[in-house]
Amino acid sequence: MEKTLQELAAFLHGTLEHASDLKITGVNGLVEAGPTEISFAVQPYVEVCGKSRAGAMILAYGEGELRDRPVLRVENPREAFAALLELFRPREEVERVLSPLAYIADDAKVGRNVAVMPFAVIDSGAEVGDNTVIYPYTYVGRHVKVGTDCILYPHVTIRENCVVGNRDILQSGCVIGGDGFGFVTTKGKHNKVLQTGNVVLGDDVEVGCNTCIDRATVDSTIVGNGTKLDNLVHLGHNDVIGENNLFVALVGIPGSVHIGNNNTFGGQSATVGHIKIGSNNTFAGRCGVIGDVGDGQILAGFPSMPHMEWLRQQSKLRKISEISKSMRELKKQVAELQAQLEAARGGEGQ
Protein backbone atom coordinates (compact mmCIF):
# COMPACT_ATOMS: atom_id res chain seq x y z
CA MET A 1 0.00 0.00 0.00
CA GLU A 2 1.15 3.52 -0.81
CA LYS A 3 -0.44 6.80 0.24
CA THR A 4 0.47 10.37 -0.61
CA LEU A 5 0.97 12.85 2.19
CA GLN A 6 -2.05 14.77 0.94
CA GLU A 7 -4.17 11.62 1.25
CA LEU A 8 -2.93 11.01 4.79
CA ALA A 9 -3.61 14.63 5.76
CA ALA A 10 -7.19 14.25 4.56
CA PHE A 11 -7.55 10.87 6.29
CA LEU A 12 -6.35 12.31 9.63
CA HIS A 13 -8.10 15.68 9.23
CA GLY A 14 -4.70 17.29 9.73
CA THR A 15 -2.58 20.05 8.20
CA LEU A 16 0.43 19.29 6.01
CA GLU A 17 3.64 21.34 6.29
CA HIS A 18 6.52 21.19 3.77
CA ALA A 19 4.48 19.17 1.28
CA SER A 20 6.31 16.84 -1.10
CA ASP A 21 5.52 14.09 -3.58
CA LEU A 22 6.82 11.44 -1.16
CA LYS A 23 4.77 8.22 -1.17
CA ILE A 24 4.30 6.74 2.30
CA THR A 25 4.50 2.94 2.42
CA GLY A 26 3.99 2.35 6.13
CA VAL A 27 3.98 3.60 9.71
CA ASN A 28 6.60 2.85 12.34
CA GLY A 29 8.26 3.98 15.57
CA LEU A 30 10.79 6.80 15.77
CA VAL A 31 13.79 4.47 15.86
CA GLU A 32 12.51 1.87 13.41
CA ALA A 33 10.97 4.12 10.73
CA GLY A 34 12.63 4.33 7.30
CA PRO A 35 12.68 7.03 4.59
CA THR A 36 9.32 6.02 3.09
CA GLU A 37 7.53 5.59 6.43
CA ILE A 38 5.77 8.05 8.70
CA SER A 39 6.23 8.23 12.48
CA PHE A 40 5.03 10.45 15.32
CA ALA A 41 6.43 12.20 18.39
CA VAL A 42 4.99 13.59 21.61
CA GLN A 43 6.73 15.11 24.59
CA PRO A 44 9.42 14.48 25.75
CA TYR A 45 10.54 13.12 22.35
CA VAL A 46 9.55 16.08 20.16
CA GLU A 47 12.95 17.73 20.61
CA VAL A 48 14.83 14.67 19.34
CA CYS A 49 12.45 13.42 16.64
CA GLY A 50 14.59 15.14 13.99
CA LYS A 51 17.13 12.35 14.45
CA SER A 52 14.63 9.77 13.18
CA ARG A 53 15.05 8.41 9.62
CA ALA A 54 11.28 8.66 9.05
CA GLY A 55 10.36 10.33 5.77
CA ALA A 56 7.55 12.30 7.45
CA MET A 57 6.52 13.09 11.01
CA ILE A 58 3.23 13.54 12.84
CA LEU A 59 3.31 16.31 15.46
CA ALA A 60 0.71 18.15 17.49
CA TYR A 61 -0.17 21.71 16.58
CA GLY A 62 2.34 24.14 18.08
CA GLU A 63 4.88 21.49 19.12
CA GLY A 64 8.35 21.30 17.60
CA GLU A 65 9.68 22.56 14.29
CA LEU A 66 11.05 20.39 11.50
CA ARG A 67 12.21 21.89 8.22
CA ASP A 68 14.01 18.90 6.70
CA ARG A 69 10.91 16.75 6.03
CA PRO A 70 7.11 16.95 5.73
CA VAL A 71 5.17 17.35 8.97
CA LEU A 72 1.55 16.38 9.51
CA ARG A 73 -0.06 18.50 12.25
CA VAL A 74 -2.94 16.90 14.18
CA GLU A 75 -4.72 17.38 17.51
CA ASN A 76 -3.58 14.06 18.97
CA PRO A 77 -0.50 12.35 17.45
CA ARG A 78 -1.03 9.11 19.39
CA GLU A 79 -4.58 8.79 18.09
CA ALA A 80 -3.37 9.58 14.56
CA PHE A 81 -0.66 6.91 14.84
CA ALA A 82 -3.25 4.35 15.94
CA ALA A 83 -5.47 5.24 12.98
CA LEU A 84 -2.55 4.81 10.56
CA LEU A 85 -1.74 1.41 12.04
CA GLU A 86 -5.29 0.34 11.22
CA LEU A 87 -4.87 1.77 7.71
CA PHE A 88 -1.48 0.27 6.83
CA ARG A 89 -1.64 -2.89 8.93
CA PRO A 90 -5.29 -3.98 9.02
CA ARG A 91 -6.25 -7.00 11.08
CA GLU A 92 -6.50 -10.30 9.30
CA GLU A 93 -10.04 -11.13 8.32
CA VAL A 94 -11.59 -14.17 9.99
CA GLU A 95 -13.93 -16.43 8.05
CA ARG A 96 -17.39 -16.01 9.53
CA VAL A 97 -18.47 -19.63 9.86
CA LEU A 98 -19.53 -21.95 12.67
CA SER A 99 -16.94 -24.70 12.66
CA PRO A 100 -18.32 -28.24 12.76
CA LEU A 101 -15.53 -28.97 15.24
CA ALA A 102 -17.00 -26.46 17.73
CA TYR A 103 -19.71 -27.43 20.24
CA ILE A 104 -22.78 -25.18 20.14
CA ALA A 105 -25.67 -26.22 22.36
CA ASP A 106 -29.01 -26.71 20.65
CA ASP A 107 -30.64 -23.94 22.69
CA ALA A 108 -27.77 -21.46 22.34
CA LYS A 109 -28.47 -18.36 20.24
CA VAL A 110 -25.78 -17.22 17.81
CA GLY A 111 -26.20 -13.98 15.88
CA ARG A 112 -25.38 -13.09 12.29
CA ASN A 113 -21.89 -12.97 10.80
CA VAL A 114 -20.36 -14.79 13.80
CA ALA A 115 -17.21 -16.90 13.68
CA VAL A 116 -16.92 -19.86 16.05
CA MET A 117 -13.63 -21.67 15.49
CA PRO A 118 -12.76 -25.33 16.14
CA PHE A 119 -12.99 -26.67 19.69
CA ALA A 120 -14.78 -23.62 21.07
CA VAL A 121 -17.77 -24.37 23.32
CA ILE A 122 -20.99 -22.37 23.53
CA ASP A 123 -23.00 -23.95 26.32
CA SER A 124 -26.70 -24.28 26.96
CA GLY A 125 -28.72 -21.04 27.03
CA ALA A 126 -25.82 -18.85 25.94
CA GLU A 127 -26.31 -15.93 23.55
CA VAL A 128 -23.70 -14.52 21.17
CA GLY A 129 -24.33 -11.22 19.37
CA ASP A 130 -23.75 -10.32 15.73
CA ASN A 131 -20.23 -10.00 14.26
CA THR A 132 -18.51 -11.62 17.23
CA VAL A 133 -15.41 -13.80 16.75
CA ILE A 134 -14.75 -16.73 19.07
CA TYR A 135 -11.36 -18.39 18.77
CA PRO A 136 -10.48 -22.06 19.50
CA TYR A 137 -10.70 -23.52 23.00
CA THR A 138 -12.84 -20.68 24.31
CA TYR A 139 -15.68 -21.56 26.69
CA VAL A 140 -18.89 -19.53 26.74
CA GLY A 141 -20.79 -20.88 29.73
CA ARG A 142 -24.42 -21.57 30.42
CA HIS A 143 -26.75 -18.58 30.07
CA VAL A 144 -23.84 -16.26 29.26
CA LYS A 145 -24.66 -13.22 27.13
CA VAL A 146 -21.97 -11.92 24.75
CA GLY A 147 -22.69 -8.70 22.86
CA THR A 148 -22.00 -7.66 19.29
CA ASP A 149 -18.63 -7.10 17.60
CA CYS A 150 -16.66 -8.83 20.36
CA ILE A 151 -13.40 -10.77 20.02
CA LEU A 152 -12.79 -13.74 22.32
CA TYR A 153 -9.27 -15.03 21.81
CA PRO A 154 -8.14 -18.64 22.48
CA HIS A 155 -8.64 -20.15 25.92
CA VAL A 156 -10.99 -17.45 27.22
CA THR A 157 -13.37 -18.72 29.91
CA ILE A 158 -16.69 -17.00 30.60
CA ARG A 159 -18.52 -18.75 33.41
CA GLU A 160 -22.25 -19.21 33.80
CA ASN A 161 -24.65 -16.24 33.81
CA CYS A 162 -21.99 -13.62 33.09
CA VAL A 163 -22.61 -10.73 30.69
CA VAL A 164 -20.15 -9.35 28.14
CA GLY A 165 -20.94 -6.02 26.49
CA ASN A 166 -20.52 -4.84 22.90
CA ARG A 167 -17.14 -4.43 21.20
CA ASP A 168 -15.34 -6.10 24.12
CA ILE A 169 -11.96 -7.76 23.58
CA LEU A 170 -11.04 -10.70 25.82
CA GLN A 171 -7.42 -11.75 25.47
CA SER A 172 -6.16 -15.32 25.75
CA GLY A 173 -6.42 -17.05 29.09
CA CYS A 174 -8.60 -14.52 30.88
CA VAL A 175 -11.32 -15.85 33.18
CA ILE A 176 -14.58 -13.97 33.58
CA GLY A 177 -16.69 -15.16 36.48
CA GLY A 178 -14.42 -17.53 38.38
CA ASP A 179 -15.49 -18.04 41.99
CA GLY A 180 -14.80 -15.21 44.40
CA PHE A 181 -12.43 -15.95 47.26
CA GLY A 182 -15.09 -16.53 49.92
CA PHE A 183 -14.63 -18.81 52.93
CA VAL A 184 -15.91 -19.09 56.48
CA THR A 185 -13.37 -20.42 58.97
CA THR A 186 -14.80 -22.62 61.70
CA LYS A 187 -12.55 -24.41 64.20
CA GLY A 188 -9.59 -23.94 61.92
CA LYS A 189 -11.33 -25.29 58.84
CA HIS A 190 -12.00 -23.05 55.80
CA ASN A 191 -15.47 -23.74 54.44
CA LYS A 192 -16.41 -22.46 50.98
CA VAL A 193 -19.13 -19.83 50.64
CA LEU A 194 -21.13 -20.39 47.46
CA GLN A 195 -20.55 -17.61 44.92
CA THR A 196 -23.97 -17.09 43.39
CA GLY A 197 -23.55 -13.80 41.51
CA ASN A 198 -22.02 -12.99 38.14
CA VAL A 199 -19.77 -10.56 36.28
CA VAL A 200 -21.11 -7.79 34.04
CA LEU A 201 -18.74 -6.14 31.56
CA GLY A 202 -19.80 -2.89 29.91
CA ASP A 203 -19.16 -1.90 26.31
CA ASP A 204 -15.67 -1.34 24.83
CA VAL A 205 -13.97 -3.19 27.70
CA GLU A 206 -10.67 -4.96 27.09
CA VAL A 207 -9.43 -7.72 29.41
CA GLY A 208 -5.77 -8.78 29.14
CA CYS A 209 -4.17 -12.22 29.04
CA ASN A 210 -4.58 -14.31 32.20
CA THR A 211 -6.57 -11.61 33.95
CA CYS A 212 -9.25 -12.83 36.36
CA ILE A 213 -12.50 -11.13 37.30
CA ASP A 214 -14.29 -12.97 40.10
CA ARG A 215 -18.05 -13.44 40.15
CA ALA A 216 -19.92 -11.80 43.02
CA THR A 217 -21.02 -13.68 46.09
CA VAL A 218 -24.43 -12.20 45.35
CA ASP A 219 -25.43 -9.58 42.76
CA SER A 220 -22.72 -8.62 40.23
CA THR A 221 -19.07 -7.72 39.89
CA ILE A 222 -19.22 -4.80 37.46
CA VAL A 223 -16.69 -3.31 35.02
CA GLY A 224 -17.88 -0.09 33.37
CA ASN A 225 -17.77 1.03 29.76
CA GLY A 226 -14.37 1.69 28.23
CA THR A 227 -12.30 0.28 31.09
CA LYS A 228 -9.11 -1.50 30.02
CA LEU A 229 -7.37 -4.21 32.04
CA ASP A 230 -3.82 -5.29 31.22
CA ASN A 231 -2.42 -8.80 31.64
CA LEU A 232 -2.43 -10.53 35.04
CA VAL A 233 -4.88 -8.16 36.71
CA HIS A 234 -7.20 -9.45 39.43
CA LEU A 235 -10.58 -7.97 40.36
CA GLY A 236 -12.22 -9.54 43.40
CA HIS A 237 -15.85 -10.44 43.99
CA ASN A 238 -18.45 -7.67 44.23
CA ASP A 239 -16.10 -4.97 42.93
CA VAL A 240 -17.83 -2.12 41.12
CA ILE A 241 -15.49 -0.47 38.62
CA GLY A 242 -16.55 2.67 36.77
CA GLU A 243 -15.89 3.83 33.23
CA ASN A 244 -12.66 4.45 31.31
CA ASN A 245 -10.29 3.18 33.99
CA LEU A 246 -6.85 1.80 33.17
CA PHE A 247 -5.37 -1.13 35.13
CA VAL A 248 -1.74 -1.87 34.22
CA ALA A 249 -0.27 -5.37 34.66
CA LEU A 250 -0.34 -7.14 38.03
CA VAL A 251 -2.85 -4.79 39.69
CA GLY A 252 -4.77 -6.45 42.51
CA ILE A 253 -8.16 -5.20 43.71
CA PRO A 254 -9.74 -7.28 46.51
CA GLY A 255 -13.46 -7.72 47.04
CA SER A 256 -16.15 -5.07 47.50
CA VAL A 257 -14.10 -2.11 46.26
CA HIS A 258 -15.99 0.71 44.53
CA ILE A 259 -13.93 2.67 41.98
CA GLY A 260 -15.13 5.71 40.03
CA ASN A 261 -14.23 6.81 36.50
CA ASN A 262 -11.00 7.69 34.66
CA ASN A 263 -8.55 6.30 37.21
CA THR A 264 -5.14 4.89 36.30
CA PHE A 265 -3.57 2.10 38.38
CA GLY A 266 0.16 1.60 37.71
CA GLY A 267 1.75 -1.82 37.55
CA GLN A 268 1.68 -3.90 40.75
CA SER A 269 -0.47 -1.37 42.58
CA ALA A 270 -3.12 -2.74 44.93
CA THR A 271 -5.78 -1.80 47.45
CA VAL A 272 -7.34 -3.27 50.53
CA GLY A 273 -10.92 -4.47 50.27
CA HIS A 274 -14.17 -2.68 51.14
CA ILE A 275 -13.03 0.87 50.28
CA LYS A 276 -14.27 3.59 47.93
CA ILE A 277 -12.10 5.34 45.36
CA GLY A 278 -13.31 8.39 43.48
CA SER A 279 -12.57 9.52 39.93
CA ASN A 280 -9.64 10.98 37.97
CA ASN A 281 -6.93 9.58 40.26
CA THR A 282 -3.52 8.21 39.34
CA PHE A 283 -1.87 5.49 41.43
CA ALA A 284 1.83 4.97 40.73
CA GLY A 285 3.36 1.53 40.29
CA ARG A 286 3.45 -0.58 43.46
CA CYS A 287 1.20 1.90 45.23
CA GLY A 288 -0.66 0.41 48.20
CA VAL A 289 -4.04 2.00 48.95
CA ILE A 290 -5.29 1.26 52.47
CA GLY A 291 -8.24 3.65 52.78
CA ASP A 292 -10.85 5.65 50.90
CA VAL A 293 -9.60 8.04 48.21
CA GLY A 294 -11.42 11.11 46.86
CA ASP A 295 -11.10 12.62 43.40
CA GLY A 296 -8.21 14.00 41.36
CA GLN A 297 -5.25 12.75 43.39
CA ILE A 298 -1.83 11.41 42.38
CA LEU A 299 -0.67 8.85 44.93
CA ALA A 300 2.40 6.66 45.35
CA GLY A 301 4.16 4.44 47.91
CA PHE A 302 2.96 2.15 50.66
CA PRO A 303 0.89 3.19 52.42
CA SER A 304 -0.16 5.53 49.62
CA MET A 305 0.63 9.23 49.96
CA PRO A 306 0.71 12.27 47.66
CA HIS A 307 3.21 11.62 44.88
CA MET A 308 5.41 14.67 45.57
CA GLU A 309 5.63 13.76 49.25
CA TRP A 310 6.65 10.23 48.27
CA LEU A 311 9.35 11.59 45.93
CA ARG A 312 10.78 13.73 48.73
CA GLN A 313 10.72 10.74 51.06
CA GLN A 314 12.51 8.56 48.52
CA SER A 315 15.13 11.25 47.97
CA LYS A 316 15.86 11.31 51.69
CA LEU A 317 15.93 7.51 51.93
CA ARG A 318 18.63 7.37 49.26
CA LYS A 319 20.80 9.61 51.43
CA ILE A 320 20.54 7.38 54.51
CA SER A 321 23.90 5.67 53.93
CA GLU A 322 25.58 9.03 53.49
CA ILE A 323 23.89 10.41 56.61
CA SER A 324 24.83 7.28 58.56
CA LYS A 325 28.48 7.66 57.53
CA SER A 326 28.44 11.32 58.58
CA MET A 327 26.94 10.37 61.94
CA ARG A 328 29.70 7.84 62.57
CA GLU A 329 32.33 10.46 61.78
CA LEU A 330 30.63 12.98 64.06
CA LYS A 331 30.49 10.44 66.91
CA LYS A 332 34.20 9.75 66.43
CA GLN A 333 35.02 13.46 66.51
CA VAL A 334 32.87 14.01 69.62
CA ALA A 335 34.62 11.09 71.37
CA GLU A 336 38.02 12.57 70.51
CA LEU A 337 36.97 15.99 71.78
CA GLN A 338 35.66 14.47 75.02
CA ALA A 339 38.97 12.60 75.51
CA GLN A 340 40.94 15.81 74.93
CA LEU A 341 38.69 17.71 77.35
CA GLU A 342 39.08 15.05 80.06
CA ALA A 343 42.86 15.05 79.53
CA ALA A 344 42.94 18.85 79.87
CA ARG A 345 40.92 18.74 83.08
CA GLY A 346 43.24 16.07 84.48
CA GLY A 347 46.23 18.30 83.75
CA GLU A 348 44.66 21.23 85.56
CA GLY A 349 44.07 19.13 88.70
CA GLN A 350 47.74 18.24 89.18
Catalytic positions are 237
Q: Cβ distance 281 to 304 under 8 Å?
A: no
Q: β-pairing, 71-74 with 15-17?
A: antiparallel
**SS3 letters for the chain?**
CCEEHHHHHHHHCCEEECCCCCEECEECCCCCCCCCEEEECCCCCHHHHHHCCCCEEEEECCCCCCCCCCEEEECCHHHHHHHHHHHHCCCCCCCCCECCCCEECCCCEECCCCEECCCCEECCCCEECCCCEECCCCEECCCCEECCCCEECCCCEECCCCEECCCCEECCCCEEEECCCCEEEECCEEEECCCCCEEEECCCCEECCCCEEECCCCCEEEECCCCEECCCCEECCCCEECCCCEECCCCEECCCCEECCCCEECCCCEECCCCEECCCCEECCCCEECCCECCCCEEECCCCEEHHHHHHHHHHHCCHHHHHHHHHHHHHHHHHHHHHHHHHHHHHHC
Taking the C-alpha atoms of residue 279 and residue 274, their distance in angstroms, rounded to an integer, is 17
- For residue 270, the one-letter residue type is A
Backbone angles phi, psi at 177, to 5 degrees: 95, 20
